[in-house]
Chains A and B, each alone.
Chain A
């Protein structure tokens, strides 16, 4: 138990320091995962196998992965500013933390003098760790247990409401879209049929390659407007030149052979 503690405790402190010191949020999340896993090991060493499993499943598995999901969603690259917005905030928070540490160390330090009882007696009395927790959970704390279910439901509904976005315009169905297209045809004469597909060249058939019209100009409708706005559009005329050069060479080769003969 002592050995486990002295292996895990430094790792946990390192993980905690990594959490607050890494500039990149993903590294912080991974240091947090290290701390969580080591904490689970400490639970196991304190004769709490049920909490060991719950810690890994709920914290490392669910909560931290949720953090990573959100991190990926809101942009991993968002830099954390180093500028102090409140003057002297670092110094004050360092002082506050030092005070908190001193207060808790001194209050905890000499408080416990009695030797620890250890979980062994309680576990054998209840017939196992999970049985003991179940007796407490569904006996003495059953009302609290019921309340947590209400809490979880409220949290789930709250998250759904928070993530829900009201539509500003009603969604267009197939009928409305067809009508709009025919109306545009009647008003401005734009083609109501499907748009031309992207260009297919010898070296590229990507959707970012615009198709060429018979006169050699680029057809703007053949690639998505989003790609054009992002600047992902490839240069079709350049792609065509490669093929044109290859054709020119292919035509020249038989001529040279003829001369040799």
Chain B
């Protein structure tokens, strides 16, 4: 199989505020959008003909992966104007696909070994994986290596084998997509009509990002795989340990202590006397002022952090400007997403373009909407909508 269809049209409502201006597949993990990992894994397996189904905020995808040339692939774009479901998305690609093709989700972290698992299978086939928390996925019932049924997000799980959303199909699949909006429904219909759908269990990497804090766990899983590299200028007295990758034109000033795995982008100014601890990703054009400590966090492009900040288990999206003495520490916290309560150990989740005054303290689990402004010395908690003003 030489062709893959990647579904990348979705918004990712539950990942707000991070998906207000970018699609889910453009969330950055260890310095790269999730989609790029999928594309790179395909390229590594020699699959270079890629059809990308895009929709929500697709310009961000065009700007990032473009024609695919820099990643060594040829990308053809098709648009799903309304994000109605995965089968509907796939149907948009009908005119562009070969006789046989792979289908993958652009918002899952998929490695090359996982894709290799599909290569020996005859379509129609899918990859499944044993997970600890099957209820948020499609639970798959198997008979030997044949799929009997897929139940989406069941109340009770019959097994802990779930659908990875990675498939090998032939063009025949399009005959079965009628009113069905999601691929599992189409597969259930095919199975009901006597078609065989094969399944293979995988042990290799397949990770899903569903909630804002998943960004942190994925980040810490991917970071150790990023090779160390030193671009830019490392001033005398800076100490870099473990896997640290520094982009070009970045300056690490004296007495910084950076303990990998850490990825720092291009054109950043770090320190002097800043401390960056595992597992942290820092975007491009970021300023980190003296005496700031960052631990297990993801910092977006164009962010500026003032002096003396303490940031732990936090995500700070692009372009946020934070004055000195900002504190975001991590404790077990209740976070509410879509009426669901989650108990997680997390710091602050800051949307893009926020302006945070000096001495602000973020309580664990706070989610701050995009372009919010928080005045100095405030204590913030809970969930703040976009463009909040805290005075």
A binds B: no
